[in-house]
C-alpha cells in the first residue's frame, strides 16, 4: 500500500471497488481498512449518542431547570429538530463519504477558510465529547461502587473520580489502538447492550418501586432550582431563560452522530449506509431515550411529607432516585448497566475523534500533522488516539474544583465543569454542523446530491437546522448559576463560571488570528492522495 500522500497510479482505477471509486472521485486513496458494515456504521453513532449515558449524566440539567416538564416536553420537541439536522447531514455524507466528514463538506462547498474553521470546531467538539462521556463514565463507576459499598462511599472525593476518569481514557485509548475491526465488533455489541440494557432498566423502574408519580406530575409539574428569579415558575424569564438551560440534556445526549461520516471511509456502501446511519441513530435514540427518561421521572420517590422529593432529586440526580425508590441492590444494578454503556460510548467517541484527527492531519491542518496522520500496521491512527486522550484530560482538569452553591450543612454540588465540558462539545460539534448545512442551502439546486437526499425539502430543512443550532448555543452560553454571572448581585466566583463560551470564543479568536497571519497562505483544504489522472477519469 503506498504511503499517505503518495499518489496511486492511474492504472489502479480498474481494480477499485464501487466505494473506492467514489472515494477516488473525491481525491483520496483507500488507506483505512473498509471492514465496517452498514450496521456497524449506524452502531457507532447510536453508541456515541448513548441514551444510557447522556440521559442520566445530564438529568440534573433538565430537572433543576424547569422540573419534570423540562424533560417530558423538551426532549421530544428538541428531538424533532435534531432529527431535521440529521436529515440535512445525511444528504451531505451521501454526497461526500470521507473521514474528514463535516470539515470536508465545508471545504468543498465554501472553500479553505470554511473548511479550516469547521474542522477545528468539529475537532474541539469531538475532544470535548470524549472528555465529557469519559468523565460521566468515571462518575457512574464511582456511584456504582459507592452504592454497593458504604466504606467506599464515605471516602468520596473529586480526585478519586478524576483518577477513574484518567483510567477510563487510558483503557478506551488502548482498545482503539488495538484494532479497527475490534472497534466495529464492540460497537455492534454496544448497540445490543444499549437496547437490552435500556429495556431492562425501563422494566425495573416500572416494576420494582413501590410507588410511582402521577401523569399530572410528569407532564405538568414545574419548578426552578436554578437560583434565578427567586425560584419563580410563572414568569417569562422561567419559560425563556430557565427551561432552555435544560436543553443541554437533549442536545448533549443526541450528538456525535457525525461519527457515521468520520467512519465512512471504513464502511461498505458508504454513500447509502452512512446516510441512513445518521438519521436512524438519531430517531431510535430519541424514541428510546424518551421512554427511558419518562420511567425515571415516574420513579421519583416521595419525601417524608408524602410529596415528590424534588429537592432530593435536584441534589442527588438519578442515583438518588434509584437508591431511594428501589434500594441499593437494584440501584447498583441499574448504575452498572449505565456505567458499562458509557464505557462503550467513550470508546466510540475516541474512535470518531481519532478519525477526525487523522483526516484533518492528512490535510496538514494540525501542528504535528506528520506524526498524527501516521497509521499502524493494522491501519489505525494510534498517534491521533493518544493526542485526543491527552487533550480530553487537560480540558477536564477544572472538574477537580468543588462547586457548592448550598451550605456545609445542606450541600448542593453543581457539576459546573462537567456541564461546561458537555456544553463545549455541543457548541463545537453543532457549530461545525451548521456551516456545511448553511453552505449546502446556499448552493441550492446546483448541489450534486448523492444516492440519499432530501429532494426539494432541503430548502426549509437546512434553514430550520441552522436556526435551532444558533438558538440552543446562545442558551448554553449563559451562566448555569447566578454566582457565575459577573453582573449578578450574588457573590461572584470564577469556579462557578460556565467556561464553555469562553473556551469556544477564545478558540475562534485564536483560529481567526492564525488564519489571517499564516494558515491562509498554506492551507488549501483537503489534499488529494490519488493520481489526478484517476480523479479526472471518474469526473469525465
Q: Count of alpha carbons within 13 Å of 249, Cβ hemisphere only?
A: 32
Does 23 reside within a domain? no
Query: pLDDT tier at 13 (50, 70, 90 boundaries)?
Result: very low
pLDDT in tens, 241-298: 888 888 888 998 898 787 787 777 777 777 788 888 899 999 999 999 999 999 999 9
Distance CA 317, CA 324 (A): 11
Q: How far is CA 323 from the centre of its chain?
A: 28
What mean pLDDT is reported for the chain? 84
Q: Looking at residue 23, what is its pLDDT?
A: 64
Does 114 reside within a domain? yes
Q: 91: Cβ–Cβ under 8 A, 6 or more apart, which residues?
A: 275, 440, 449, 450, 452, 453, 454, 458
The stretch 213-217 carries a mean pLDDT of 95
The stretch 431-442 carries a mean pLDDT of 96
Does 240 reside within a domain? yes
Total domains present in the chain:
1
pTM of the model: 0.85
- Cα 58–Cα 130–Cα 87 angle in degrees, nearest 5: 75
Does 392 reside within a domain? yes
Does 296 reside within a domain? yes
Does 367 reside within a domain? yes
pLDDT in tens, 390-428: 999 998 888 887 766 555 555 555 566 777 788 888 899
Distances (CA, A) of 71 to 58, 292, 294, 349: 11, 11, 8, 25
Distance CA 459, CA 289 (A): 29
**Domain region containing 393:** 36-526
Does 29 reside within a domain? no
Does 7 reside within a domain? no
Sign of the Cα torsion 260, 262, 267, 273 reads positive
Q: The domain spanning residue 469 has which CATH number?
A: 1.20.1740.10
Q: Which of 423, 347, 302, 383 is nearest to 48 (CA)?
A: 347
Amino acid at each position: 500500500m503506498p504511503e499517505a500522500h503518495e499518489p496511486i497510479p492511474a492504472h489502479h482505477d480498474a481494480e477499485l471497488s464501487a466505494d473506492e471509486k467514489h472515494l477516488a472521485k473525491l481525491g483520496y486513496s483507500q488507506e483505512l481498512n473498509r471492514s465496517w458494515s452498514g450496521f456497524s456504521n449506524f452502531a457507532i453513532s447510536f453508541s456515541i449518542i448513548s441514551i444510557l449515558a447522556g440521559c442520566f449524566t445530564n438529568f440534573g440539567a433538565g430537572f433543576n431547570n424547569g422540573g419534570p416538564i423540562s424533560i417530558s416536553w423538551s426532549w421530544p420537541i428538541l428531538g424533532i429538530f435534531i432529527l431535521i439536522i440529521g436529515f440535512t447531514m445525511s444528504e451531505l455524507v451521501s454526497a461526500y463519504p470521507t473521514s474528514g466528514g463535516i470539515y470536508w463538506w465545508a471545504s468543498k462547498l465554501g472553500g479553505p477558510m470554511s473548511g479550516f474553521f469547521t474542522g477545528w470546531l468539529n475537532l474541539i467538539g469531538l475532544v470535548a465529547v470524549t472528555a465529557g462521556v469519559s468523565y460521566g463514565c468515571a462518575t457512574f463507576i464511582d456511584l456504582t461502587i459507592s452504592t454497593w459499598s458504604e466504606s467506599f462511599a464515605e471516602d468520596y472525593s473529586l480526585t478519586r473520580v478524576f483518577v477513574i476518569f484518567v483510567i477510563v481514557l487510558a483503557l478506551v485509548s488502548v482498545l482503539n489502538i488495538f484494532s479497527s475491526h475490534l472497534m466495529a465488533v464492540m460497537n455492534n455489541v454496544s448497540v445490543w447492550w444499549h437496547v437490552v440494557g435500556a429495556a431492562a432498566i425501563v422494566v425495573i423502574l416500572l416494576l420494582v418501586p413501590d410507588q410511582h408519580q402521577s401523569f399530572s406530575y410528569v407532564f405538568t409539574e414545574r419548578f426552578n432550582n436554578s437560583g434565578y428569579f427567586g425560584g419563580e415558575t410563572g414568569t417569562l424569564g422561567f419559560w425563556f431563560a430557565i427551561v432552555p438551560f435544560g436543553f443541554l440534556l437533549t442536545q448533549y445526549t443526541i450528538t456525535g452522530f457525525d461519527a457515521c461520516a468520520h467512519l465512512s471511509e471504513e464502511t461498505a456502501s458508504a454513500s447509502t449506509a452512512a446516510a441512513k446511519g445518521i438519521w436512524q441513530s438519531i430517531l431510535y435514540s430519541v424514541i428510546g431515550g424518551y421512554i427511558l427518561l419518562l420511567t425515571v421521572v415516574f420513579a421519583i420517590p416521595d419525601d417524608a411529607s408524602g410529596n415528590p422529593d424534588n429537592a432530593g432529586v435536584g441534589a442527588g440526580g438519578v442515583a438518588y432516585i434509584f437508591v431511594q425508590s428501589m434500594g441499593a441492590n437494584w440501584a447498583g444494578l441499574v448504575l452498572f448497566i449505565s456505567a458499562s454503556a458509557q464505557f462503550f460510548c467513550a470508546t466510540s467517541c475516541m474512535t470518531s475523534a481519532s478519525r477526525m484527527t487523522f483526516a484533518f492531519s492528512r490535510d496538514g491542518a494540525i501542528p504535528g500533522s506528520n506524526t498524527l496522520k501516521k497509521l499502524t500496521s493494522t491501519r489505525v491512527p494510534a498517534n491521533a488516539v493518544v493526542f485526543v486522550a491527552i487533550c480530553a484530560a487537560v480540558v477536564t482538569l477544572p472538574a477537580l474544583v468543588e462547586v457548592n452553591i448550598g451550605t456545609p450543612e445542606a450541600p448542593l454540588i453543581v457539576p459546573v465543569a462537567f456541564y461546561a465540558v458537555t456544553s463545549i462539545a455541543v457548541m463545537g460539534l453543532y457549530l461545525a454542523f451548521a456551516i456545511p448545512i448553511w453552505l449546502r442551502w446556499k448552493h441550492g439546486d446546483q448541489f450534486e446530491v448523492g444516492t440519499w437526499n432530501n429532494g426539494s425539502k432541503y430548502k426549509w430543512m437546512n434553514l430550520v437546522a441552522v436556526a435551532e443550532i444558533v438558538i440552543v448555543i446562545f442558551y448554553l452560553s449563559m451562566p448555569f448559576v447566578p454566582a457565575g454571572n459577573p453582573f449578578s448581585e450574588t457573590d461572584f466566583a470564577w469556579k462557578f463560571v460556565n467556561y464553555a463560551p469562553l473556551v469556544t470564543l477564545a478558540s475562534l479568536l485564536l483560529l481567526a488570528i492564525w488564519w489571517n497571519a499564516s494558515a491562509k497562505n498554506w492551507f488549501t483544504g483537503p489534499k488529494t492522495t490519488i493520481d489526478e489522472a484517476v480523479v479526472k477519469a471518474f469526473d469525465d
